[in-house]
Structure 1
Amino acid sequence: MNVVVIGAGAVGQLMASFLAEACMDVTLVVRRQEQADELNLKHLTRVHIDGTKTLHQIASSVELEMLPRPDLIVVAVKYGHLQNIYKQLLDLPKEIPLLFVQNGLAHFDEALRLPQNTIAFCSVSFGAQTIDFTTVQHRGVGLCKIGIGRGDSIVFEKLLHLENPLFPIEFVENAEQMLFEKAVFNCMINPLTAILQIKNGDLLTNKQAYLLMHTIYQELTEAFKDIESTIPFSAVIALCKKTAANTSSMLADRMQGRKSEVETIVGVILQKASANGYPLPTLRTLYHQVLAIEESGGQS
């Protein structure tokens, strides 16, 4: 397969490395020519969980429209960059399948307005961190879930044949439900870690943080009656343990002074709950705290 990955952040780089390892022709589309030149010269290094390294032959470009027609486009930019990407995708052939890899729910309806015949969504739970322009660190094994929003699943079924235990992939029936459940997990972990500036695992050892996380869970189960059966609190604890050493994406954004995805993750969940008559006071307070931190400069 000829795969184009748009976005060379941690998620994009890690996915590109595993796809290239599976003998696919992978091109990373990046924003800066400097990064494209460095990737074309040095290729992409993945630092494994045990500290060992592998080098993967990745091409790179800043011009999506100039590339040969791919078999699949993976869109791995953050939500804030999607509007520009949508404009570029509009001009591409409708037959090219798209796979969107973003947190939150805000992009679901937006992506499905594109003309492409086949559009799928991906939710990842692996740990990844960019070291530099050409190096990504794999910090934790986690599932890559794919749900079809519209169209044919054939091209995505090919990804199942990777059968790499370090990059497990599974299909789910309902793409929107998959994104909702991921957002629920993120609501309980990301804002707290960003505000308190702690790792995921600290949510279990810090008594007050644990109490806040459990309070958010109780609020969510009141607002969304099926959460208790689909996402037991034990699953939240298990995720915190599994990703104990991870820096959440929201905390990483704060550390880098970037705008976070709190609107697309927490904001959308707050809107859905409010429509059901539930204000989610604890989560709403954390939401406004994250926004206040961003307004004041992010790192203070």
Structure 2
Amino acid sequence: MRFVIVGGGAVGLVMANYLAQLGYPVELLVHSEKQRSAIEDNGVVFTDCHGKKKVRHFVVRTNLSELHQQAIWIIAVKYHHLMDLRPLFKQLPEETELLFIQNGIRHIEFAHKLKQHSILMGSVEFGAEKVDDNSVIHRGKGALKIANYRGQQFNVEKYSSIISPEFPIIIMDDYRKMLLRKALLNCFVNTLTTILRVKNGELIEQPFSLKILKQLYQEVMTAFPELKSQLSFEDVFNVCKNTAENTSSMLADYMNGRVMEIDTIIGGIIDLAQQKGCAVPMLSTCYSLLLAMQEGGVRH
């Protein structure tokens, strides 16, 4: 197997390092010449969960035509960047296998319109922080969950063979439940850490933020009772505890002046709840607050 990773963000760089460490050929497709030059000249400086640093070199391009099209293409960009990649998917052969790694659920509809026959969905449960164009930190072990979205030739054994204690992969049966669970988790943790501007662990350390977290969980899960067995409040609590020193991806985007994934994570959940006839006023208020924060920019 060989891999092409589309996107030079934190998740893409962490995955590139572990796949390369396991001996698989990995190529990177990045957007900016600045990042391409940084990685080409200096490699990717990777810091693992134990604080050990390693520099790894990759073939890195900004041009699709220079990459292996028959590789497994891992699409590790945020949802609002997917529209810019439409020409890429049109150029790739129908036989190219795609694996989407996005937060939220909006990308399901995007993938449905593509011509590629084999499409997988992924859900990342490890922490990653991009320091600069060619430096990344793996913050907290966690699995990459993969489920088949489209394609009769999904090879479970192929992905199960990618074994690493530091980078476990779990094959899931239902892509929708997998993505919905992650989106709900992000609704709780990303939303509140960003509004309160705190690290993950602080949500459960302070009594009032813990109370808000419980109230938000109870409201949202009323609309999705079928997922309570897969995402209990204890699960949410433990995620905050196990990633206590992590800055959520949404808060990191906000603090760095980047576009937050407000619509794909929170907007998608609000839409699904409304389709089920359930009101989520607390989550809707959080949604509006985040949009106001995005519009106002960072104020130190």
**In 2, Cα distance between equivalents of 1:230 and 1:27:** 35
> Which position in structure 2 is the counterpart of 1:235?
235
> Which position in structure 1 is the counterpart of 2:202?
202
For residues 92-171 of structure 1, the aligned pairs below 5 Å read 92-151=92-151, 152-154=153-155, 157-171=157-171
**In 2, Cα distance between equivalents of 1:247 and 1:174:** 29
Give the Å deviation of 1:230: 2.1
**In 2, Cα distance between equivalents of 1:4 and 1:227:** 33
Amino acid at match of 1:189: V
> Which position in structure 1 is the counterpart of 2:55?
55
Q: Is the partner of 1:184 in helix, strand or coil?
A: helix
Unpaired stretches in structure 1, ≥5 consecutive residues: none
Amino acid at match of 2:201: G
> Is the contact made by 2:70 and 2:95 (CA closer than 8 Å) also made in structure 1?
no
Give the Å deviation of 1:88: 1.1
**In 1, Cα distance between equivalents of 2:57 and 2:39:** 9
Deviations 1:151-183 (A, max 9, x none): 1222x6423222111111000001111101100
Unpaired stretches in structure 2, ≥5 consecutive residues: none
Aligned length: 299
Amino acid at match of 1:197: R
> Is the contact made by 2:40 and 2:58 (CA closer than 8 Å) also made in structure 1?
yes
**In 2, Cα distance between equivalents of 1:299 and 1:130:** 22
Give the Å deviation of 1:220: 1.6
Deviations 1:82-107 (A, max 9, x none): 01113211121111100000000000
> Which position in structure 1 is the counterpart of 2:89?
89
Assess, with a 3 A threshold, how the Cα gap between structure 1 residues 106 and 299 changes in structure 2: closer, same or farther: farther
Q: Is the partner of 1:200 in helix, strand or coil?
A: coil
Q: Is the partner of 1:140 in helix, strand or coil?
A: coil
**In 1, Cα distance between equivalents of 2:69 and 2:78:** 24
Deviations 1:68-92 (A, max 9, x none): 3232000000111101113211121
> Which position in structure 2 is the counterpart of 1:183?
183
Deviations 1:211-244 (A, max 9, x none): 1111111112211121222211111111111111
Q: Is the partner of 2:120 in helix, strand or coil?
A: strand
> Which position in structure 1 is the counterpart of 2:249?
249
Q: Is the partner of 1:77 in helix, strand or coil?
A: coil
Amino acid at match of 2:169: I
**In 2, Cα distance between equivalents of 1:227 and 1:158:** 29
Give the Å deviation of 1:38: 2.0
> Is the contact made by 2:76 and 2:101 (CA closer than 8 Å) also made in structure 1?
yes
> Is the contact made by 2:9 and 2:77 (CA closer than 8 Å) also made in structure 1?
yes
> Which position in structure 2 is the counterpart of 1:261?
261
Seq. identity, %: 38
113-122 or 78-87, which moves further after superposition?
78-87
> Is the contact made by 1:48 and 1:139 (CA closer than 8 Å) also made in structure 2?
yes
50-59 or 121-130, which moves further after superposition?
50-59
> Is the contact made by 1:143 and 1:167 (CA closer than 8 Å) also made in structure 2?
yes
40-49 or 176-185, which moves further after superposition?
40-49
Amino acid at match of 1:110: F
**In 2, Cα distance between equivalents of 1:273 and 1:107:** 18
**In 2, Cα distance between equivalents of 1:16 and 1:136:** 11
Backbone CA RMSD of aligned residues: 1.3
**In 1, Cα distance between equivalents of 2:43 and 2:70:** 19
Give the Å deviation of 1:184: 0.6
Give the Å deviation of 1:275: 1.6
Give the Å deviation of 1:297: 1.3
TM-score (norm 1): 0.96
> Is the contact made by 2:4 and 2:68 (CA closer than 8 Å) also made in structure 1?
no
Give the Å deviation of 1:267: 0.5
**In 1, Cα distance between equivalents of 2:55 and 2:291:** 39
TM-score (norm 2): 0.96
